[in-house]
Structure 1
Amino acid sequence: MKPGMRLVAAACFGVFSMAALIADGASPALRAPVFGPRPRFLFTHEELDAWRADPAKSNELAQIAARAEALLSARRAVPDREGQWIFYYACPADGARLRPESPLAHRCPVCGKMYTDERTVAAWRTLVFNELDSEVRDMGIAYGLTGDERFAARAREILLRLAALYPSFERHDRWGRTGLLAVVGGRRYSQLLDEACGVIQLAAGYDLAAPAACFSDGDRRLIEEKLLRLIARETGLFQHFIDERCNHQTWFNAAYAAVGLVTGDEELMREAICGSRGLMFQLASSVTDDGLWYEGAIAYHFYALSAIQTTLDAARRAGWDFSSNGRLKSLWEGPSKISYPDGSLPVFHDSDRASLANYRSFFEWAGRYFKDPVLAAMGRGDFASEDRKPSAVLADTGIAVLRRNSGKDAVCAMMDWGKHGGAHGHPDKLNMVLYALGRELALDPGRISYSVPEYRTWCRTTAAHNTVVVNGADQDESDGALLHFEETGSFVSCLAAADRAYPGLRLSRWLLLTDGWLLDVFAVEGRKSSEIDLLFHCRGEVGGAEDFAPLEKPLEGSGYGHLKNIRSAPGRKEAAFEFRQPDGRSLRVTAAGDEGGVFLLGEGIGYTLNDRVPCLMRRRKAASTVFVTLYDFGTDGGPNRLDLLHGEESGKELPPWQAIGVRVSGERGSCVAGVDFRQNPSGRAKVAGHQIRRMAFCFEEPRR
């Protein structure tokens, strides 16, 4: 079949199959939905009456009315042409959001450059459409609370104009494709996702305003059929070109639920919940057993969760309740498992810097829906227990969370070894982040912004992460495996491996965390010589590199061009660096076994383009090697000394990438730790006389 015919066939399949999918996926536990009188989505008449009668709500009511009056005065026109991807409304040079000087001219507030091209102008129209969607919702709420017909009339005006325009808009996507070729595009917007998000707002405002006398029966039929249901139908037509697990589908489902509830469409309601791509399907396929969204990015976890809450709100209005579903509830419990001691969250994959406190409204919602006191407390901002949580293995997600201590001495290290994360995953297998000294130290930059080239040329490179880069190339997309996890009263430890990150190479990383330090042993095993770099991106003012000299030539490799102010020094048997923090404390980093290699010190990009973060790189030329690092928090009488020990088996010395030992010595004594990296350890390997089954740890006599 020709490609064009294949597209047509897929589209036809979508339109003819929706009813069948609903029937096939329908749950016998779902009775017929109840469609009460309008309004029935955001608020009911009883809820609006209670709001008006509550003296505590008087200020909020006045603010809503004032905003509606301001919107009436502004009377923004509805664009008569399509929009484009919102991230195109930014300056490519610095990522700054543009500012309109006229509908056809848009200036960067940072560099001053003016943009007049059609793509930028169309992206601005998307902003206008977004504002109009919100205006319809806000006008509906204002009418529902005040009864002022002017607000309902404005909502009607926008809705009728959109209903007239929408069928004439050309289907398009953000890559320039149009018509049937724009299979993941939209009409008003450049992607189905935005169409779904927009129609939810329109449906919510329409539901509140439609009872007003200014709406005729003909108006209601036109808005429901030529706008709300049309958007929902076209979304259903093309949804099969989208990964059914991803957050886009979650918003499609929310749109079906919202439009279905508002228009009284039972088929759409059932599609949202039990269709072949509905909520029940996504709970089974898109939610890990750890309660985290499969894409591995906390930003997309809550983005999907927002859509799920919309779906559940609509379902609840129709008489469907899912509060007893434990897997559903886990979505609000999961993020706490990977939070740092201060409640902030690691920025894995396509995510942004955030904390649990940023998502209080989600926990507040969940506390009400599930009637759960712990979630309700989080909704009130009670995150006091975050620094006292136990270590954990999020096996389905593929993250090991190592924790020690509490309060100001709390430390936490995490290693990402598992699922790649789909379209929002990064090539960063065995990436490590670290929280100590009251803040995040070793970081993952996340996504910065989709608007800037650095998203591709930095964020989505292996070099931007705290892991190994081989021959300057990015890792392949792959999943790793956890080989060992152990927690005792003295330490917590994990060992993970990745066999497919680079062809012909096996990567293994062992972390061992105590109250006072983190031991990090990274082994690379291969057959032919390669250039192997271990990168460490850490906040602080770096000390211990006074003898480093400026590098004459720029580094070559994926992402390496963004490393600035690079200095270098020959490697040595042991080197110590300090990353000094603003409060005077320091993270002391001891690197061992680098003789014959090179140290490189520069600055990479953090959470924004202007956020420069020190990067320590250790480079070796070898087929196989082991990087040993001790991160000393300075809380147990340090500094500590690091000595490497050979692993042996049956009287023969083992290569260090198969088994290795380390002695850590300080003022309070010393300890020996060892690990067997092999896929199938024999259990007979030893380090300093101590047997290693998978790993070993023991205290030696304290110093006198």
Structure 2
Amino acid sequence: MRIGEKLQQYRWAEEIAGQLERELAPLLGAEPVIPAEPGGWWHQYVCPEHHTELLFDPLEEDATEFLCPYGCALHGEPYRGAWLVMKHQSCARFALEAAALYAAGRGRRYADWSAGVLLRYAEQFPKYPVHPEAEGWMLKGRAFHQALTEAIWATTLLRAGLLLTDEGYEFAEAEKLDLFFAMLEESMTQARKLLAEEQGKPESNYTAWLNAALACVYARNRDETKMRELVDGFAGLKHHLTIGVNPDQMEYEGTTYYHVFVLRAYFIAAEMAERFGIDLYAARGEQGQSFEGMLDVLADLANERGELPALHDGPYRRVPYSREIAETVEIGYARYGKAGCVPILREAYRYMYGSPQRAGLEALLYGQGSWEPDARSEDEAQAKQRGSRLLETSGFVIGRRPGGRLSFYADYGPHGGSHGHDDKLHLTIAGRDGWLAPELGMVPYGSGLRKDWYACAQSHNTVAVNNRSQAAHTGELVRYEDGESGTYVWLRSTEAYPGCRLERHLWLTDRWLLDWFVAELDSEATIDWWMHSPRLEPAYRRELWQPPANRLLDDGEGPYRFVRPLAEWTAGSGESVCSVEMSAAAGGEGAALSMLAPPGSRIMLAETPGPADNPARSMNGLLHRQHGTSASFVTAYSDSSRPAAFAGPEAAAAGTRAVELSWPGERWRARLDPAEGLRLERI
């Protein structure tokens, strides 16, 4: 559907066109200005003290001082080069916005301004050298350190040019654009050959974007022969779908961010191929991989609020990422009409604009239909009826009961390579109002906290041994059962530490989750069970919480140097159950966490770095520490007004294999058998 038709059909489209006019108003009074310098690497646009992304104003014409949200002022490289990346990308985005307003009938001046951006880049691009300061591992670009960044930027410029042409605009100096896009084609082709053939990495997410950029060039040049070769050839669109996406429909690196990243590139390529009558929206990989299947994975990963978990590398959240989500999911929603897309879109727009209504460029370009307000109840009701899902190849389990209070995400699969974390048997927990125990995401790669904290086991909701992070490895799914009484998952890891076996048993019902984690080692060790939450507060007998005996949890050299103990729970007479209240970052309904504390164990409440979008905004960590050759961590999560009670003669004993747990009106017996796993019966 063309933009002009949307304005006639949807009220939201007309409102968004007005919004974009206001955004571009400060720029339209002058000729477009682009940087004469090439950009560097965006990941270095981060404060070295607070590890937070630096502030960026897209309307600032030039910058020599770069501020972090906490007031730090930085100068010179690498911040200048990283700022230039943001600036070049914003110039391309403004060109696309102006083209969209021309298509919306707002006047030729928008087309002329958009065309002016393209022509200035056409003049400047040949002057950029193949980047001499790019790091050795990078595929080098001209306008940026990386050919990957160049491909993404190029697709935005090319889509702007195509939109203008589609609306009948004629470029005055088309020969300059011909040279520009010919150079881009040559650069993208060389990078693709180097990556896919010489380096032997055709499955890389880079390949998807090099393909998308080339597809845009071929569409602009009306070159059907090259487009068909790109679709069907080695490392082409269909081949990449087979090798870059797992049979369970998750991008092969097992990271939510790169899943969105690759699907967005696929949709751009499909849009270009459709100009030649080639339908890639229905394409299938050799194991059934499809764009629609990838979209379904996103819908299943999202919590009830519509937030996506930051599995492995990827930002917790930032505005550019939310734009990528909005674009990808809007295209998917328009093509496949999946109700599960709506909560994701609402959350993306809520984060960008403060309201869960359509807004901004992505909505105007790609949005179709209307899910506000009439369709809201139907869409959200359908989304809440989702059940559990196993992503077996990627190694993730989503535990969810239709209409249930809690849901969980457990990670046992492949490490994820350069984008993986030391997080096997990690547990993410969501309530109805957002994350209660989230994935923290990943800071920009230029931050030292990337490997020192956010990739380490201690920043995840799993077990760490002897103050060390886990080894990179793959865990094992022993059992997955999803029936009327609940969802049961049994996970195992034997390679996280030498001579160590870790097992996690999860049992989810409509009202509560039981988490039973067992560690067995060949020799005595300190075994730490971690649970991170936006806010944790003692929920029962606060007098049992005392100042911590030690402010340091290790020698101060490893990940624990970022942890500050706040309080320590000391078991009183007859006390063996510690309860705290977990709250979501967005507020609303929380959960009660109740854990058994065997004699000799220590439970500490600590302050830890916050989610990766703002590490300096601390959050809470709960550390349950045991020492020996074995440890058993038994924890129940439930409605915050109903903390679990544990009973039974062995309930608090080290190595216990049987407990009774109860809430008002219900009581259960749980037994853990080494061969049969966890079994529950109501009593």
Matches within 5 A, 1:562-641: 562-569=562-569, 574-579=576-581, 581=583, 587-607=591-611, 608-633=614-639, 639-641=644-646
Q: Residue 521 of structure 2 corresponds to which residue in structure 1?
A: 526
Deviation of 1:271 after TM superposition, in Å, equals 4.8
Residues of 2 paired with 1:404 and 1:376: CA distance? Answer: 20
Q: Residue 29 of structure 2 corresponds to which residue in structure 1?
A: 73
Do 2:299 and 2:340's aligned partners in 1 also have CA atoms closer than 8 Å? Answer: no
Do 1:99 and 1:106's aligned partners in 2 also have CA atoms closer than 8 Å? Answer: no
Shift in alpha-carbon separation, 1:643–1:295, aligned structure 2, 3 A: farther
Q: When the two structures are aligned, how many residues end up with a matched partner?
A: 624
Residues of 2 paired with 1:373 and 1:592: CA distance? Answer: 41
Deviation of 1:695 after TM superposition, in Å, equals 3.6
Deviation of 1:508 after TM superposition, in Å, equals 0.6
Residues of 2 paired with 1:123 and 1:298: CA distance? Answer: 24
Q: Does 1:424 pair with 2:419?
A: yes
Deviation of 1:525 after TM superposition, in Å, equals 1.6
Question: Which runs of no fewer than 5 residues in structure 2 stay unpaired?
Answer: 346-370
- Residues 192-231 of structure 1 show CA distances to partners (whole Å, capped at 9, x for unaligned) of 11110111122223334567555356335323323x3234
1:429 aligned counterpart, secondary structure:
coil
2:310 aligned counterpart, secondary structure:
coil
Shift in alpha-carbon separation, 1:498–1:60, aligned structure 2, 3 A: closer
Q: Residue 151 of structure 2 corresponds to which residue in structure 1?
A: 196
Q: Does 1:269 pair with 2:265?
A: no
Determine which of 542, 563, 569 is the counterpart of 2:538.
Answer: 542
Shift in alpha-carbon separation, 1:596–1:169, aligned structure 2, 3 A: same
Deviation of 1:68 after TM superposition, in Å, equals 6.1
Matches within 5 A, 1:21-170: 47=2, 70-94=26-50, 95-98=52-55, 103=62, 105-108=64-67, 110-141=69-100, 154-170=113-129
Higher RCO (Cα < 8 Å, 6 or more apart): 2
Structure 2 counterpart of 1:77, one-letter code: V
Structure 1 counterpart of 2:152, one-letter code: C
Q: Does 1:487 pair with 2:464?
A: no
Do 1:139 and 1:209's aligned partners in 2 also have CA atoms closer than 8 Å? Answer: no
Shift in alpha-carbon separation, 1:60–1:443, aligned structure 2, 3 A: closer
Structure 1 counterpart of 2:560, one-letter code: Y
Which segment drifts farther, 341-350 or 520-529? 341-350
Do 1:574 and 1:590's aligned partners in 2 also have CA atoms closer than 8 Å? Answer: no
1:389 aligned counterpart, secondary structure:
coil
Which segment drifts farther, 146-155 or 590-599? 146-155
Do 2:565 and 2:604's aligned partners in 1 also have CA atoms closer than 8 Å? Answer: no
Question: Which runs of no fewer than 5 residues in structure 1 stay unpaired?
Answer: 1-42, 647-654, 682-692
Deviation of 1:672 after TM superposition, in Å, equals 2.1
- Residues 646-672 of structure 1 show CA distances to partners (whole Å, capped at 9, x for unaligned) of 9xxxxxxxx987x92222245546432
Which segment drifts farther, 580-589 or 116-125? 580-589
Q: Residue 9 of structure 1 corresponds to which residue in structure 2?
A: none
Do 1:78 and 1:158's aligned partners in 2 also have CA atoms closer than 8 Å? Answer: yes
Residues of 1 paired with 2:551 and 2:302: CA distance? Answer: 40
Shift in alpha-carbon separation, 1:267–1:96, aligned structure 2, 3 A: same
1:526 aligned counterpart, secondary structure:
strand
RMSD value, Cα? 3.7
1:223 aligned counterpart, secondary structure:
helix
Do 1:103 and 1:121's aligned partners in 2 also have CA atoms closer than 8 Å? Answer: no
Shift in alpha-carbon separation, 1:154–1:667, aligned structure 2, 3 A: closer
Q: From the CA coordinates, give the structure whose radius of gyration is larger.
A: 1
2:514 aligned counterpart, secondary structure:
strand
Shift in alpha-carbon separation, 1:124–1:665, aligned structure 2, 3 A: closer
- Could you tell me the TM-score, scaled by structure 2's length? 0.81
Residues of 2 paired with 1:554 and 1:69: CA distance? Answer: 54
Q: Residue 354 of structure 2 corresponds to which residue in structure 1?
A: none
Q: Residue 467 of structure 2 corresponds to which residue in structure 1?
A: 472
Do 1:84 and 1:123's aligned partners in 2 also have CA atoms closer than 8 Å? Answer: yes
2:88 aligned counterpart, secondary structure:
helix
Shift in alpha-carbon separation, 1:125–1:74, aligned structure 2, 3 A: farther
1:529 aligned counterpart, secondary structure:
strand
Deviation of 1:568 after TM superposition, in Å, equals 3.2
Do 1:466 and 1:535's aligned partners in 2 also have CA atoms closer than 8 Å? Answer: yes
Shift in alpha-carbon separation, 1:348–1:230, aligned structure 2, 3 A: same
Shift in alpha-carbon separation, 1:146–1:433, aligned structure 2, 3 A: closer
Do 1:522 and 1:628's aligned partners in 2 also have CA atoms closer than 8 Å? Answer: yes
- Could you tell me the TM-score, scaled by structure 1's length? 0.78
Determine which of 223, 227, 245 is the counterpart of 2:180.
Answer: 223
Do 2:492 and 2:504's aligned partners in 1 also have CA atoms closer than 8 Å? Answer: yes
2:594 aligned counterpart, secondary structure:
strand
Do 2:299 and 2:341's aligned partners in 1 also have CA atoms closer than 8 Å? Answer: no
Shift in alpha-carbon separation, 1:622–1:673, aligned structure 2, 3 A: same
- Residues 280-299 of structure 1 show CA distances to partners (whole Å, capped at 9, x for unaligned) of 12322222333322333323
Residues of 1 paired with 2:470 and 2:333: CA distance? Answer: 41
Q: Does 1:661 pair with 2:651?
A: no
Structure 2 counterpart of 1:574, one-letter code: S
Residues of 1 paired with 2:220 and 2:438: CA distance? Answer: 45
